C-alpha cells in the first residue's frame, strides 16, 4: 500500500532549502543533503516517521542535544533512516564517503533545519518526485503514457537515465504492483541512484531494493531469469541505448523506450 499524499496541491519544494554557491565537493554534498532532508521531512509530515525535523522548534532535539550541533543532528537522523532504507540515506554507500557532508557550513545546515517545517505536505507523489528530479539535475520529461500496463508476475528493468521515475509511475498507476518484487533500477550516476532511492521512500519500500550503478548494463545482463520488460528513455531524452541494442541484450523482453 502506498500511503503518500495524492491530493492536487500546487505547493512546491522549490522555495525551500536553496543551495548557495559552494565548492564542487560541497555542492554535491549539499544537493544530496537537501534532497534527503526534504524526503525525511515529507515522511514525517505524512506520519510514516516520528516528527523530528518538522517538530516545532525541534524541542526533543534541544532537550537531549547537549553540545551537539545541527550537523550531528542530521547525521543521526540519516543514520537512523538508513537502517530500514539504505537507499538513499546511507551517505557513505551513495556518495562514497561523508567528507563533503562534514565540510558543509554549520550555519547552512542550521538554516535548512529552520526551513523544514515549511515543507509542503500536500504534493502528489508525481509532483514531489518531479521536483526532486529537477533538484538533482534530472530534467528529462518521460512520456509516461507510453509505458505498458504490467502484471505482478512481470520483471522489469529500468534503464539508466530516469532514476526510477518510470517504475514510480507504473506502481502509482497500478497499486497492485510492487517496486521491490518487480523492478530493477539501473543508474549511471549518484544523482540517478539518489532519485531511485527517493522513489523507494515515496512508495514506502523498506529494506533491500534493486537499485545499482550499472551504466553499461553489465550487471543487468547477468540477472538470472532475465526480464519480461525493459523501460527506458529515448536517446534524445538522455537514454543511453537504442532499441536494437537492447533487443540484442534482452532478446526475450518487451522493450519500451519513451
Tens digits of per-residue pLDDT, 64-116?
A: 877 788 999 999 999 999 999 999 999 999 999 888 888 899 999 999 999 99
Q: Could you give the residue range(s) of every CATH 3.40.50.150 domain in the chain?
A: 144-257
What superfamily would CATH give domain 144-257? Vaccinia Virus protein VP39 (3.40.50.150)
Grid cell at residue 215: 551504466
Query: Environment class of residue 187 by beta-carbon count within 10 Å: exposed (0-12), middle (13-18) or buried (19+)?
Result: buried
The answer to whether the pTM exceeds 0.75 is yes
Whole-angstrom CA distances from 32 to 78, 85, 194 are 11, 15, 8
Q: What is the pLDDT of residue 11?
A: 52
Amino acid at each position: 500500500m502506498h500511503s503518500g499524499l495524492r491530493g492536487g496541491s500546487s505547493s512546491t519544494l522549490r522555495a525551500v532549502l536553496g543551495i548557495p554557491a559552494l565548492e564542487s565537493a560541497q555542492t554535491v554534498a549539499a544537493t544530496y543533503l537537501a534532497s534527503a532532508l526534504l524526503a525525511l521531512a515529507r515522511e514525517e509530515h505524512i506520519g510514516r516517521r516520528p516528527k523530528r525535523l518538522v517538530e516545532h522548534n525541534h524541542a526533543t532535539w534541544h532537550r537531549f542535544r547537549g553540545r551537539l550541533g545541527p550537523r550531528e543532528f542530521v547525521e543521526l537522523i540519516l543514520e537512523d533512516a538508513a537502517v530500514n532504507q539504505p537507499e538513499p540515506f546511507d551517505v557513505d554507500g551513495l556518495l562514497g564517503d561523508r567528507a563533503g557532508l562534514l565540510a558543509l557550513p554549520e550555519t547552512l545546515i542550521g538554516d535548512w533545519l529552520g526551513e523544514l517545517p515549511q515543507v509542503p505536505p500536500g504534493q502528489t507523489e508525481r509532483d514531489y518526485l518531479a521536483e526532486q528530479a529537477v533538484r538533482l539535475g534530472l530534467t528529462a520529461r518521460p512520456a509516461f503514457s507510453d509505458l505498458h500496463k504490467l502484471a505482478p508476475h512481470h520483471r522489469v528493468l529500468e534503464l539508466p537515465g530516469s532514476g526510477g521515475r518510470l517504475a514510480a509511475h507504473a506502481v502509482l498507476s497500478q497499486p497492485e504492483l510492487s517496486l521491490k518484487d518487480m523492478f530493477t533500477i539501473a543508474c549511471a550516476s549518484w544523482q540517478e541512484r539518489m532519485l531511485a532511492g527517493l522513489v523507494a521512500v515515496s512508495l514506502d519500500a523498506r529494506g533491500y531494493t534493486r537499485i545499482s550503478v550499472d551504466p553499461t548494463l553489465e550487471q543487468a545482463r547477468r540477472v538470472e531469469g532475465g526480464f519480461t520488460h525493459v523501460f527506458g528513455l529515448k536517446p534524445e531524452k538522455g537514454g543511453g541505448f537504442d532499441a536494437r541494442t537492447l533487443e540484442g541484450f534482452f532478446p526475450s523482453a518487451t522493450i519500451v523506450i519513451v
